């Protein structure tokens, strides 16, 4: 029997008393959709396993796009969030807070020594937005040099620093120039005394899991110093043990002036951070965030970092990434052009489009991501079991061999 239920603004929303709710149809009906949806409704997670509405299990190599590094429903994070929710959920930055203070102290102790103070926000794109503003304010300049294939977010400032997704939204912020990743000569030619900052990822995630090399980052540091420009390192996807070090810049000894973090920072609770060195100043009121640094997210982040340290997740990512590379590499696939891997950040570049193979993997119980049209990207939780990684390699061989 059809029943009309009064909705917002006097509209009637049709409901059916005898029809059970469909997760898919309900989202399709009400979501302002911007995601390329897959025909799968996820309702529960544990460790590196996700479950759909029918109870089928999937090996998760998406991890919320690199978010769930300590695993889904990690008991320490769950406990910390529950305890904090019963104590104090929100506290704006105009007041001091005990949990926020502990997190700020922890971040200063684990990040590179060149950065020591943090502005807390809610996402990676917010972190990059803040970095752009802070670089402008610190230098008095308005020009930036970024990398081709780089990705820094979808809000207008972060999108201005991003190489793709731009055309439909131009004009964006002016003053952003793009040079090939890992090309020192092009970088040197692009940076001048008018440059506020060079913005770069250590590993380009959305750009195809492309690894930066030590010589490039050493040159970037030297070039920025020569022109009194800032070096902004975006570790939104690579930070917090993903690449086998707590932060990917540690692989190359990079000392950033500004470090952008998010994704795995709080075990799945939305959180981001911008860490800055002593040379970056701010005036009170020039930036802010209603939810940034709220006690709930801070408690989740403290618990997440504690798990990472206690369980040695950076070392585990290094070992498990090597195990996967060995297991997958034992059987060459004719359709694979290249495999790029650092820790548990893995990109498999194909000679054809990746999407059909990602769908075939899902049908076999493995969830993976694209990174551009021809790259399969794997970002499993760092707590994934060895047997599950071996299963992922086996399923990849199946679908790539078809």
Q: Is the pLDDT of residue 340 over 80?
A: yes
Task: State the average pLDDT over residues 19-28.
Answer: 82
* pLDDT above 90: residue 20: no
Sign of CA dihedral 127, 121, 155, 195: negative
**Which CATH number fits the domain that encloses residue 300?**
3.40.640.10
- Catalytic residue chosen out of the listed positions 234, 240, 246, 257: 234
Sign of CA dihedral 345, 346, 349, 350: negative
128-156 average pLDDT score: 97
Q: Per-residue pLDDT for 363 more than 90?
A: yes
Query: How would you classify the pairing of strands 366-367 and 57-60?
Result: parallel
Cis peptide before 203 (omega within 30 of 0): no
What average pLDDT score do residues 99-120 get?
98
pLDDT digits (tens, 9 = 90+) for 184-193: 999 999 999 9
Give me the pLDDT at residue 94, please: 96
State whether 157 and 263 are in the same domain.
Answer: yes
4 domain-assigned: no
| Rounded mean pLDDT, 97-123 | 98
DSSP 72: B
Model confidence over 75-90: pLDDT tens digits? 999 999 999 999 999 9
pLDDT value, residue 282: 86
Written as six digits, the tokens of 77 are: 């994070």
Q: What does the pLDDT look like over 46-80, one tens digit per residue?
A: 999 999 999 999 999 999 999 999 999 999 999 99
* % of the chain beyond a pLDDT of 90: 89
Q: 181, 240, 246, 263: which is the annotated catalytic residue?
A: 263
Residue 385's Cβ-count burial label (10 Å; 0-12, 13-18, 19+) is middle
DSSP secondary structure code for residue 20 in this structure: P
Whether residues 243 and 387 fall in one domain: no
Averaged pLDDT for residues 191-209: 98
pLDDT of 221 strictly over 60? yes
Write down the catalytic residue from 144, 151, 247, 328: 151
**Residues 163, 27 share a domain:** no
Tokens of 5: 């239920």
| Shared domain check, 245 and 342 | no
Helix segments in 111-198, DSSP class H = 124-139, 156-160, 184-190
CATH of the domain at 344: 3.90.1150.10
pLDDT of residue 331: 87
Strand order from edge to edge, sheet including 336-342: 336-342, 345-350, 375-378, 369-370
Whole-angstrom distance, CA of residue 302 vs CA of residue 291: 17
Six-digit token pair at 89? 């959920």
What percent of the chain is modeled with pLDDT above 70? 95
Q: Sorting pLDDT into bands at 50, 70 and 90, what band is 8?
A: very low
Evaluate if residue 115 carries a pLDDT over 80.
yes
CA dist 309 and 298 (Å) reads: 16
First CA to last CA distance, the chain: 48
Is 90 exceeded by the pLDDT of residue 174? yes
| Chain centre to alpha carbon of residue 336 | 25
Q: Which of 50-54, 101-105, 271-275, 282-286 has the lowest mean pLDDT?
A: 282-286
Residue 5 lies in a domain: no
Of 155-159, 160-164, 329-333, least confident by mean pLDDT is 329-333
Q: Is the pLDDT of residue 108 over 80?
A: yes
> Which has the closest alpha carbon to 265: 246, 286, 283, 278?
246
Report in angstroms the alpha-carbon separations of 81 from 77, 260, 267.
6, 24, 10
State whether 324 and 287 are in the same domain. Answer: no
Q: How far apart are CA 315 and CA 373, in angstroms?
A: 31
Instruction: Kindly indicate the confidence band of residue 360, based on its pLDDT and cuts at 50, 70 and 90.
Output: very high
Is 94 within a domain?
A: yes
- For the question of residue 390 being annotated catalytic, the response is no
pLDDT at 18 over 80: no
Contact 335, 341 (CB under 8 A): no
The verdict on 269 and 352 lying in the same domain is no
Whether 9 has a pLDDT exceeding 50, the answer reads: no
∠ Cα 275 379 33 (to 5°): 85
**Residues 137 and 286 reside in one and the same domain:** yes
Helices 386-401 and 355-363 meet at what angle, rounded to 10?
120
Sign of CA dihedral 385, 50, 237, 166: positive
**Catalytic site residue 338?**
no
Asked about 263 being catalytic, the answer comes back as yes
User: Is 195 a residue whose pLDDT tops 60?
Assistant: yes
β partners of residue 199: 146, 232
- Statement to judge: residues 260 and 120 lie in one domain: yes
The three-state secondary structure class of 116 is coil
Query: Residue 402: what pLDDT?
Result: 63
230 or 285, greater pLDDT: 230
Domain housing 154: 75-310
Q: 88 and 66 in one domain?
A: no
H helix and E strand count, the chain: 12, 19
């Amino acid at each position: 029997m059809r029943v009309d239920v009064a909705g917002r603004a006097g509209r009637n929303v049709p409901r059916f008393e005898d029809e059970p709710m469909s997760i898919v149809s309900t989202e399709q009906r009400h979501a302002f959709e911007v995601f390329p949806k897959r025909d799968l409704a996820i309702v529960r997670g544990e460790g590196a396993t996700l479950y759909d509405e029918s109870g089928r299990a999937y090996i998760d190599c998406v991890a919320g796009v690199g978010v769930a590094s300590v695993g889904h429903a990690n008991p320490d994070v769950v406990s910390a969030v529950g305890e904090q929710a019963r104590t104090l959920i929100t506290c704006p930055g105009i007041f001091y807070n005990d949990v926020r203070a502990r997190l700020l102290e922890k971040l200063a102790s684990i990040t590179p020594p060149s950065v020591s103070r943090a502005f807390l926000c809610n996402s990676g794109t917010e972190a990059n937005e803040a970095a752009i503003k802070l670089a402008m304010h610190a230098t008095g300049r308005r020009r930036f040099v970024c990398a081709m294939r780089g990705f820094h977010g979808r809000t207008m400032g972060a999108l201005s620093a991003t190489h793709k997704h731009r055309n439909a939204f131009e004009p964006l912020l002016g003053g952003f120039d793009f040079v090939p990743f890992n090309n020192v000569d092009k970088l040197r030619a692009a940076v001048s005394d008018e440059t506020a900052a060079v913005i770069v990822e250590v590993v380009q995630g959305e750009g195809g899991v492309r690894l930066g090399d030590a010589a490039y980052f050493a040159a970037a540091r030297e070039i920025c110093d020569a022109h009194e420009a800032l070096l902004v390192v975006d570790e939104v996807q690579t930070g917090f043990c993903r690449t086998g070090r707590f932060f990917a810049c540690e692989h190359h000894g990079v000392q950033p002036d500004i470090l952008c973090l998010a994704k795995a920072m709080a075990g799945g609770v939305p959180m981001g951070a911008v860490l800055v060195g002593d040379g970056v100043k701010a005036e009170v009121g020039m930036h802010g965030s209603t939810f940034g640094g709220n006690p709930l997210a801070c408690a989740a982040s403290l618990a997440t970092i504690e798990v990472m340290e206690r369980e040695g997740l950076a070392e585990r990512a290094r070992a498990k990434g090597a195990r996967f590379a060995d297991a997958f590499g034992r059987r060459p696939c004719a359709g694979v052009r290249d495999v790029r891997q650092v820790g548990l950040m893995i990109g498999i570049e194909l000679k054809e489009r990746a999407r059909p193979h990602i769908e075939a993997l899902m049908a076999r119980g493995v969830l993976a991501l694209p990174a551009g049209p021809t790259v399969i990207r794997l970002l499993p939780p760092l707590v994934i079991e060895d047997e599950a990684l071996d299963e992922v390699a086996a399923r990849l061989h199946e679908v790539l061999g078809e």
